[in-house]
Structure 1
Amino acid sequence: MKTEQIVLSPLAPGANIALNVHRFGEPGARPLIYIQAALHADEIPGMMAAHHLRERLTALEAEGRIKGEIVLVPVANPIGLAQRVMGSHVGRFNLADGINFNRGYPYLVPKVAERVEGKLTDDASANVGLIREALRAELEAWVTANPTEVLKKALLGMAIQADIVLDMHCDSEAVEHLYAHTQSAEEFAPLSCLIGAKAYLLADESGDDPFDEACSRPWAELAERFKDHPIPFSCHSTTLEFRGERDVNHELGQADAGALIAYLTLRGVIAGEAPGIPQGLCEATPLAASEPVPAPATGIVVFQAEPGDRVKAGDVIAEIVDPVTGTVTQAKSPTDGLMFARVSLRFVTQGTRLAKVAGTKASRSGKLLGA
């Protein structure tokens, strides 16, 4: 394992921050796998998985079993990791401007298209190399304006060259689930089975430019723009949601790391016998079919459904109790499907997104992710 530090812009004079990056295998070897944890810095299960993954990869490297290059960033957001407000950790949003750390990554496609126009050939491999260089150059040309943008540029700079990107997150209270580009459905189907995902959500574009789509979307859109030239989909990226915020222990971290090792072995990045793939617990469904359950009133939340429950349209997900009047209002599921996540709040204001239900019929458009 080789460890390096990428120094970021200081938050203030003397307040220096850096990314710690662990590299395994042969530098520059393919396939290149990029794995990061806790881009939302208050989502700890991914960090725990990265801890155990580092131990496993160190041992595998000593055995000479890593055949590509694996880049692991165990703490992807040192800015958010340091944010506290009155004793509470705030790692999802940048306190400087309120922007979600997993939104607003640069959309590079138009400028990259200009860079490769007239240079693409009938050689798919050469086209991939040309596009990767154009992505690198265009990202390098991004003039950042603050420490968070410097962080985003550094993370994306490592990931955008990878063959596979694994971005480890969690939800508030949830079962295992994952998000990916529609064209990555087959690529990550085994991983969905290995992590025991209960929901597998696909979209070409989910809105607000999250990290995983900044890596994957350019390949689909450039292939669409340049149909006369072969452009393979060359960066499969997924957001892995390892249950809920409080699901942090060694047993779960070891299991998550084990699932990732099995997937990387299956893909030939780690030498060894290909693992058996367990029976999947869900089918891939459109992210546009995932419906939020809003709070119909302000009050105390009393959930009637647990993460992982199958629900029907009209089933009561939660009761909202007005502590002054005693009025009880029901929040109901808008669709048939699996309730895969819910908030950890137990007092909410009207309109708060209480839960998410993965349906099967696409019914939404525009911005498909929450805040």
Structure 2
Amino acid sequence: MRIEHHPLLSRTPCTRRELTSLHYGEPGGAGKVYLQASLHADELPGMLTLHHLRQLLDRAEARGEILGEIVLVPIANPIGLEQTLMHDAMGRFDFNSGENFNRRYPDLTALIADNLARVLTDDIEQNRQIIRHAMVEALQQMQPASEIDSLRQAQLLLAIDADFVLDLHCDAQAVLHLYGETPYWPQIEPLARYIGAEASLLADGSGAGSFDEACGQTWWRLQERFAGRFPIPSGCVAATVELRGEAQVEHALASRDAAALYAFLQHRGVIAGTAPDMPELPRPATPFNGSLTLRAPCAGLVVFLHQPGAWIEEKQPVVHLIDPISSATQVVCSSVSGVMYMRSAIRFAAAGVELCKVAGANALEGGVTVSA
């Protein structure tokens, strides 16, 4: 295993941060998988999971069993990791710009598609290399104007030529779930099975400009653009895995998740050995725009009536909002049936605050909606 350091653009004199990556195997083997943790720097279960996965990979490497290339970035956001306020981690938004660390990644399709039309061929494997080269070239030509932009550039240069990209996050209080893109579900489903995803939410591009979309979305968008003209492979499949709740930084859970990721890497053929049989999928995949967000219709004390992972029926009460002065109780019900895969850690809510999400089986009118 080798360690690489990627300096970021310095924000102020006499200070400099860097992105650190751990590299197993060699390029050109049985594919490449990229895994990063804690892009939202206060979401730490993934960091511990990669700590446990690293131990498994160290042993596999000593046995000569790494057949492809595996890149780990245990701290994907050194900027956010340093951000604290009164000892509380505040790693979701950049203090300097206010930007969400998992937004505003470049749209590589827009940057490379016009030029590709002049160089693509009838050979699908040759096109894979042409597209990857174009992506890398476009990224290298960027001139980051801020530290956060240089972080995005460094992450993508490490990940953009991977066959599979995993971005490890967590939610406030949640069961294990994932986000992926609908065209790639056949390749994502084995991951969902191994990790035991209680919800798998799929979209044809959410428009968020997130890291996983920057890595994987370009390929199916190019397939659509050049359909009937040039063969385009599914060059990179990307998924965001939410490893339960932010307080669940526990060895037992992280060790289990690392073992599941290791089994998935064996399934992909990047590590030698027969992968364990895939478990049953806990729940079928559902559309991202079928996810119902319940929000507080008024201010009040938040009392959840169900734990994350509970199955919620349509019109079933989910939350009580209590006014401590008048003792009035507002009941918040779901308008769909599905698993409540996450809920907020807030226990006194202002009006309009997000309370929880329920994964409905059907797309909702107007997309992801608000209900109270």
2:20 match: 20
Inter-partner Cα distance in structure 2 for 1:60 and 1:146: 39
Inter-partner Cα distance in structure 2 for 1:303 and 1:162: 41
Q: What is the correspondence of 1:251-262 to structure 2 with a 5 Å cutoff?
A: 251-262=252-263
Inter-partner Cα distance in structure 1 for 2:351 and 2:340: 20
1:357 match: 358
Unmatched 5+ stretches in structure 1: none
1:233 match: 234
Tell me if the contact between 1:206 and 1:368 (Cα under 8 Å) persists in the aligned partners: no
SS in 2 for 1:239: strand
Quick check: 217-226 or 7-16, which moved more?
7-16
2:125 match: 125
Amino acid at match of 1:92: R
Inter-partner Cα distance in structure 2 for 1:364 and 1:167: 29
1:52 match: 52
Inter-partner Cα distance in structure 1 for 2:143 and 2:83: 25
Inter-partner Cα distance in structure 1 for 2:30 and 2:143: 30
Shift of 1:141: 2.1
Return closer, same or farther for 1:103/1:271 CA change in 2, 3 Å cut-off.
same
Q: Deviations over 1:199-221 (max 9, x none)?
A: 00101111221110111111011
2:315 match: 314
Return closer, same or farther for 1:69/1:85 CA change in 2, 3 Å cut-off.
same
Q: Deviations over 1:130-172 (max 9, x none)?
A: 1111111112222211101110111011111110001101010
2:339 match: 338
Shift of 1:325: 2.1
Shift of 1:10: 2.1
Tell me if the contact between 2:67 and 2:269 (Cα under 8 Å) persists in the aligned partners: yes
SS in 2 for 1:34: strand
CA RMSD, 1 decimal: 1.4
SS in 1 for 2:4: strand
Q: What's the TM-score once normalised by structure 1's chain length?
A: 0.97
Shift of 1:30: 4.1
Return closer, same or farther for 1:367/1:335 CA change in 2, 3 Å cut-off.
closer
SS in 1 for 2:59: helix
Q: What is the correspondence of 1:47-86 to structure 2 with a 5 Å cutoff?
A: 47-86=47-86
1:218 match: 218
SS in 2 for 1:266: helix
Inter-partner Cα distance in structure 2 for 1:344 and 1:366: 25
Inter-partner Cα distance in structure 1 for 2:12 and 2:30: 39
Inter-partner Cα distance in structure 2 for 1:167 and 1:20: 15
Inter-partner Cα distance in structure 2 for 1:26 and 1:111: 29
Shift of 1:29: 3.3
Return closer, same or farther for 1:130/1:368 CA change in 2, 3 Å cut-off.
farther
Shift of 1:334: 2.2
Shift of 1:365: 4.9
Q: Deviations over 1:206-254 (max 9, x none)?
A: 1221110111111011111111111011100000111000111111110
Quick check: 324-333 or 336-345, which moved more?
324-333
The answer as to 2:264 corresponding to 1:292 is no
Amino acid at match of 1:298: A
2:325 match: 324
Amino acid at match of 1:46: G
Inter-partner Cα distance in structure 2 for 1:119 and 1:11: 39
Tell me if the contact between 1:293 and 1:334 (Cα under 8 Å) persists in the aligned partners: no
Q: What's the TM-score once normalised by structure 2's chain length?
A: 0.96
Q: Deviations over 1:104-125 (max 9, x none)?
A: 1111212211221121111000
Tell me if the contact between 1:11 and 1:17 (Cα under 8 Å) persists in the aligned partners: no
Unmatched 5+ stretches in structure 2: none
Inter-partner Cα distance in structure 2 for 1:50 and 1:364: 39
Inter-partner Cα distance in structure 1 for 2:220 and 2:165: 16
Tell me if the contact between 1:207 and 1:366 (Cα under 8 Å) persists in the aligned partners: no
Shift of 1:332: 1.4
Tell me if the contact between 1:208 and 1:367 (Cα under 8 Å) persists in the aligned partners: no
Return closer, same or farther for 1:150/1:253 CA change in 2, 3 Å cut-off.
same
Shift of 1:363: 1.2
Amino acid at match of 2:42: D
Tell me if the contact between 2:83 and 2:90 (Cα under 8 Å) persists in the aligned partners: yes
Return closer, same or farther for 1:4/1:146 CA change in 2, 3 Å cut-off.
same
